[in-house]
Amino acid sequence: MSAPEAVLTARNVSIEYEVDPPVKAVRNVSLTLNRGEILGLAGESGCGKTTLAYGMNRLLKAPALMTDGEIVFHDRSGTDIDVVALDGDGLRAFRWDKISMVFQGAMNSLNPVIDVRAQIFDIFDTHRPGMSKKDKQARAEELLTLVGVDPSRLTSFPHELSGGMRQRMMIAMALALDPQVMVMDEPTTALDVVVQRGIIREIMRLRERLGFAVIFITHDLPMLIEISDRIAVMLQGEIVEQGTAEEIYRTPQHEYTKRLLSSFPSLTGERGDFVRTGSRASQEEIR
């Protein structure tokens, strides 16, 4: 097997909310995302997961400020992109194109008065201004098919779609420009277990087919163990433990990791199942 190749590297990243008193939301975090892998980011509410994800996407806005560290995107062309230094056109060519994000609570943030097609076309209009209407239509249909939604749904409005379908639409939009990295922030948390499972399976399938890497954020560590290659555990702004899914599952080092492992029912609903079969077997099963 060839050595893993990094696609995104964060080194000693610190992010503060400059409010009174200041909130040190991310403290000295170093993370490497390898090409094509699923990196799980786990940790309880308020530990800084979303803030870190925004930092890596260069989406932070005041009062948030990255006070220290570097973030480098290793493009498939061979060029390294200094993410922190990007601005203007460089930043526009980076977001959505190189790295896209499925936002926390996103399925409720589709514009209610515009049909799905217009929302997808919007991405092309911003990032591919020369694209013909015919090509936009073809690509939009292809994207829906990819995420398991019938293309006839393009003319639906968000309220006509189930929660699961809306979330699939958000994933379709994140895939629109064929990014190398997708950050998914609690993409299935609001959905019931059956729908959740269907969407996770879809993400795994797409990842295999299209080869993008995923940072998958959730407080549900048992679920991450089933789907991730590697996992980072975050506590109060810091990464307290990192390892392969196998290592985190079998030999968790940090007390907090142990606590997270025992505090949630797994995606399968039957913890026994995945305790017996181990994380790899469950990963097979989930496909």
Ligand X SMILES: Nc1ncnc2c1ncn2[C@@H]1O[C@H](COP(=O)(O)OP(=O)(O)OP(=O)(O)O)[C@@H](O)[C@H]1O
CA angle 94, 95, 97 (to 5 degrees): 70
Contact with ligand X (CB under 6 A) among 23, 93, 210, 240: 23
Residue 199 vs 233, nearer CB to ligand X: 233
Q: Binding to ligand X by residue 51, rule CB under 6 A?
A: yes
Q: Binding to Mg ion by residue 50, rule CB under 5 A?
A: yes
Q: Binding to ligand X by residue 211, rule CB under 6 A?
A: no
Q: Binding to ligand X by residue 47, rule CB under 6 A?
A: yes
Kindly state the smallest distance separating residue 45's Cβ from Mg ion, in Å: 7
Residue 46 vs 272, nearer CB to ligand X: 46
- Interaction partner, residue 46 (ligand X, Mg ion, none; CB < 5-8 Å by kind): ligand X
- According to CB under 5 A, which residues from 72 to 131 bind Mg ion? 104
- According to CB under 6 A, which residues from 70 to 109 bind ligand X? 104
Contact with ligand X (CB under 6 A) among 4, 17, 205, 277: 17
Residue 47 vs 161, nearer CB to Mg ion: 47
Contact with ligand X (CB under 6 A) among 27, 49, 58, 230: 49
Q: Binding to ligand X by residue 264, rule CB under 6 A?
A: no
Kindly state the smallest distance separating residue 270's Cβ from Mg ion, in Å: 27
Six token digits for residue 43: 């940790």
Kindly state the smallest distance separating residue 49's Cβ from Mg ion, in Å: 5
Contact 214, 182 (CB under 8 A): yes
Residue 90 vs 105, nearer CB to ligand X: 105
DSSP the chain: -PPP-EEEEEEEEEEEE-SSS-EEEEEEEEEEEETT-EEEEE--TTSSHHHHHHHHTT---TTEEEEEEEEEEE-TTS-EEEGGG--HHHHHHHBTTTEEEE-TTGGG-S-TTS-HHHHHHHHHHHH-TT--HHHHHHHHHHHHHHTT--GGGGG--GGGS-HHHHHHHHHHHHHTT--SEEEEESTTTTS-HHHHHHHHHHHHHHHHHH--EEEEEES-HHHHHHH-SEEEEEETTEEEEEEEHHHHHHS--SHHHHHHHHSS--TTS-HHHHHHHHHHHHHHHH-
Q: Binding to ligand X by residue 240, rule CB under 6 A?
A: no
Stretch that binds ligand X, among 41-49, 72-80, 110-118, 192-200 (CB under 6 A): 41-49
Residue 57 vs 283, nearer CB to ligand X: 57
Residue 28 vs 277, nearer CB to ligand X: 28
With contacts defined by CB under 6 A, how many residues of the chain interact with ligand X?
15
Burial 107-140 (b: 16+ CB within 10 A, else e): beebeeeebbbebbbebbeeeeeeeeeeebeebb
Q: Binding to ligand X by residue 184, rule CB under 6 A?
A: no
Kindly state the smallest distance separating residue 195's Cβ from ligand X, in Å: 20
| Residue of 56, 48, 41, 98 lying closest to 75 (CA atoms) | 98
Contact residues for ligand X, defined by CB under 6 A: 17, 19, 23, 25, 43, 45-51, 63, 104, 219
Summarize as ranges the residues that interact with Mg ion (CB under 5 A).
49-50, 104
